[in-house]
Structure 1
Amino acid sequence: MRLTVPRLLMVLIGALLLAYAFAIAPIATSGGREDAPSDRLAKAEPGAVVTAEANAVTTAAPGAPPPPAEEFFPPAGKAFIGVMTEKGPHDFTATNMFTAAARHRPQVMLFSSGWASDTFDRTLFDRIRDRDMLPMLGWEPWDYKVDQAARKERLPAREVDKVRSNQPAYRLSRIARGDFDSYLRNWADGIKSLGYPVAIRFGHEMNGDWYPWSEATNANRPGDYVKAWRHVHDVFGAAGVTNVIWVWSPNARWSTTTANLAELYPGDDYVDWVGASGYYGTGVFSNYRSFDEIFKPTITEIRTFTRKPMVITETGASDGNGRKAEWIEQTFQLLSRHKDIIGLIWFEVDKELDWRIGSSPAAAKAFAEAVADARYQVTWSPKMLPRTELVG
């Protein structure tokens, strides 16, 4: 075929049209960018793994800051110091004195409320929050005025225990079957409305025989405590309450004959923190006993059925033997070995015995030096999440 001028022009025009179709047109339709992203996630090749981080990079807006890391209370490797005073959030005078003596701001305040007399009062919780402390409610199903009346009669301690523990209106079976549900729902709605975390220590020292919620008293039966606890917890759950830290807190074992703690434990699905209460200077602990001698048997037993974080929910020391400062110093030395303990609450009250760290300059000095350790340098804020699992 002879290549004429017309045929040459047709070949050149055809080549230009092909070049436009395969190169220039796609660029034009993509807005001038050859790498314009699709508005859909590309399908992964067989066997490929698409990570959450990869999806976040794909979908995040250009230049958007990463989401803030969640803050836990207390942080890993740290422990809080809490306080309980006689008047709690009704009067912070004793709290201020404790803070001055300890040279340390407590991060938790424990205060008590009895079912017979107390209704939900938001003001009390907000007062604690406003002082940068986590509120911990010691929630007691009884009439504490019975206890007060028995003490005014100056009855022996064990007689007081018998009188106050006999309150049929507050039997565990009545709680479990719903007799107090209206009262519980009122509190549940109130605590939900707070919008920040609150710890509830319900029915503490249940392994003793000095409260009406103990299975050893008040015509309660084995298994009743767990049923009552779970019922209270379920009422809060049904009300949509998600800001409660449930604290299960027996008394430190004082003999080998005390109740089996595993039988009183509601289960990990119903508990966030486990605790224990114990004091040097009273009862079987009147003679000098170290922190480990008082608490370790209980801690060891609890660790056979749960790994929930532990709090020393009440402790204190008397100076009857002149060794209060020594006990405080040794306690914090031993406490550092218990990595599963995330907090300690000091009973700063002069009741029966003077448990306050402010009772003597030596005790205050020992406490202040102990809590100055970096382990206790933590803060609490309403935005922090409670640490409900042990790290490591």
Structure 2
Amino acid sequence: MRLAKLPKFLTALTAVLAGAGAALAPTAAQAAPATCTTDAKLVPTCNVLWGGAAGGFTSTPRDLALKGWEKASGRTATIFHQYHKGNEVFPTKAEIAMTNDPANPRVLLENWKIAYGSTWAKVAQGQQDKRIDAFAARAKAYGKKFFLVLNHEPENDVIARKGSGWEAKDFAAMYRHTIERLRDQGVTNVVNVMAYMGNEKWMSQSWWADLYPGDDVVDWIGLDSYVSAEKGYYHYGTFADLLDRKPKKGGLGFYDWATTKHAGKPVMVAEWGAYHRVGKIADKSFVYDSVLAELQKRPAIKAIVHFDTKKDDQGDRDISIDSTPASLAAFQKLAADPIFDVEIN
């Protein structure tokens, strides 16, 4: 090659290489993963919502308990789970303040035992419409989207006796009536969750299928389920075990039932945790270490909400994340995973 032509050649070569580099270089969209947000039903476009309920069965205000749990775990709870009954006024001022914190955005998950002091059948018959309408007005005034569970874990409250007012079919009718009345009152910011216990005993009952009120009035299917970290004790196992409990007489496990019978519905683990008996210390690390692999295999799970307490309603189970240093370290590692990075829209 003549030296006189060398500058032109080098210029051309530089242009070719630059073009090839541009073709190979990732675009901005490719280089940076899309931000995960929530849609109209609070379903994340990607990843999984992270939530908590803390201070159960203690006198500690729930907002302060959750903040302490968040500090210990290392992550703000996107979902703040609370419990109410009857004519209690909610969202409360403290709950609203928790969702108005610009530095730590949260969304409410409100459990409401609407039939408190009444029965499911009476609610379905319209005898608690004043209670429903009062809540509807508060929900509209609140304005923000939030989750609502009507009478979580209804299996435990069923009285399978004709006319009791607490039959499984009464629960379904109560649920349907309440959601339809809220809609009639113009409530558009409530996202409802049907939350089961998913216990093998109840799933085997002849009335279990009668609890479900219908896909048209259920936005999310929820599960409240726990495992023991104490080998040999009741429900010993990993995160998979709390998702896959099957009816005693055989049949689909809970997760498979939800995704098969109600395909397309997002699944929320509305309460979960690992426990050991009070005074019987056990390392919970293996339970927390099992969570991510299960979430990756089960794309229908869009939210998990940990319930944290040193002593549960039965008085003998420690469901706290910090019962041992190793347990806390494992939980902190879980909480730090980017799979829980979701912005509330």
Q: 1:178, CA displacement in angstroms?
A: 0.8
3-state SS, counterpart of residue 196 of structure 2: coil
Which residue of the other structure, out of 316, 320, 330, is the alignment partner of 2:290?
Answer: 330
How big is each residue's C-alpha offset from its partner over 1:333-374, in whole Å with a ceiling of 9 and x where there is no partner?
Answer: 323211110010000122222211122221111111112222
Aligned position for 1:200: 148
Match of 1:274 among 221, 226, 233: 221
Whole-Å separation in 1 of the counterparts to 2:266 and 2:50: 15
Aligned partner of 1:128 in structure 2 is 98
Give the Cα–Cα distance (whole angstroms) in 2 for the partners of residues 70 and 355 of structure 1.
30
Indicate the SS of the match to 2:153.
coil
User: Residues 227 and 287 (structure 1 numbering): CA distance in 2 closer, same or farther, change over 3 Å?
Assistant: closer
* Aligned residues of 1:113 and 1:139 also touching (Cα < 8 A): yes
Find the aligned partners of 2:71 and 2:243 in 1 and give their Cα distance: 28
Partner of 2:160: 216
* Equivalence for 2:45: 76
Question: Contact 1:84–1:111 (CA<8 Å) still a contact in 2?
Answer: yes
Q: CA deviation at 1:74?
A: 4.8
Specify the alignment match of 1:355 in structure 2. 319
Aligned residues of 1:98 and 1:358 also touching (Cα < 8 A)? no
Q: Choose the corresponding residue for 1:254, options 200, 206, 216.
A: 200
Q: What letter corresponds to residue 350 of structure 1 in structure 2? A: K
Count residues in correspondence: 283
Report the Cα distance in structure 2 between the residues aligned to 1:223 and 1:302, rounded to whole angstroms: 19
Residue 141 of structure 1 corresponds to 114
From 113, 118, 122, give the equivalent of 1:174. 122
Cα displacement (A) at 1:262: 3.5
CA contact (8 A) 1:97 1:358 kept: no
Q: Is the 8 A contact 1:261 1:301 kept in 2?
A: no
Alpha-carbon deviations, 1:295-348, whole Å to 9, x = none?
A: 121111222321210000001111346241111111333232111100100001
**Would the aligned equivalents of 1:89 and 1:111 in 2 still touch at CA under 8 Å?**
no
Counterpart check, 1:303 vs 2:259: yes
Partner Cα distance (2:188, 2:197) in 1: 27
Question: What is the match of residue 159 of structure 1?
Answer: none
Q: How far apart are the structure 2 equivalents of 1:196 and 1:287?
A: 38
RMSD over equivalenced CA pairs, Å? 2.7
> Cα offset for 1:259?
5.1
Aligned partners of 2:145 and 2:259: how far apart in 1?
26
Q: Structure 1 119/310 Cα, relative in aligned 2: closer, same or farther at 3 Å?
A: same
Deviation at 1:287, TM superposition (A): 4.7
In 2, distance between residues paired with 1:70 and 1:366? 26
* Aligned-partner Cα distance in 2 for 1:260–1:286: 25
**2:50–2:305: 8 Å Cα contact kept in structure 1?**
yes
How has the CA–CA distance of structure 1 residues 123 and 259 changed in structure 2, closer, same or farther, with 3 Å as cutoff? farther
Q: Aligned ranges for residues 154-169 of structure 1 at < 5 Å?
A: 169=117
Q: If the length of structure 1 is used for normalisation, what is the TM-score?
A: 0.66
Look up the equivalent residue of 2:54 and give its one-letter code.
T
User: In the alignment, which residue of structure 1 is the partner of 2:29?
Assistant: none
Greater CA deviation, 88-97 or 245-254?
88-97
**Offset of residue 232 of structure 1:** 0.5
TM (norm. structure 2) is 0.74
Q: Classify 1:240/1:215 alpha carbon distance in 2 versus 1 (closer, same or farther; 3 Å).
A: farther
Distance 1:333 1:285 in 2: 24
Distance change >3 Å, CA 378–CA 121, structure 1 → 2: closer
Aligned CA distance change for structure 1 residues 176 and 74 (closer, same or farther; 3 Å):
closer
Where does residue 14 of structure 2 map in the other structure? none
- 1-side partners of 2:206 and 2:74: how far apart? 39
**Residues 207, 259 of structure 1: 8 Å contact kept:** no
Which letter does structure 2 place at the counterpart of 1:123? K
**Structure 1: distance between partners of 2:319 and 2:74:** 18
Paired position in structure 2 for 1:345 = 305
Secondary structure of the residue aligned to 2:121 is: helix
Match of 2:240 among 292, 303, 309: 292
Unaligned runs of 5+ in 1: 1-68, 144-168, 385-392
Q: Is the 8 A contact 1:122 1:194 kept in 2?
A: no
Q: Find the counterpart in structure 2 of residue 373 from structure 1.
A: 337
Deviations 1:153-192 (A, max 9, x none): xxxxxxxxxxxxxxxx422111111111101100011101
d(CA) in 1 for partners of 2:215, 2:38 = 22
Q: How far apart are the structure 2 equivalents of 1:135 and 1:89?
A: 18
Q: Deviations over 1:81-120 (max 9, x none)?
A: 101123699443321221122111110011000105x124
Identical residues among aligned pairs (%): 21
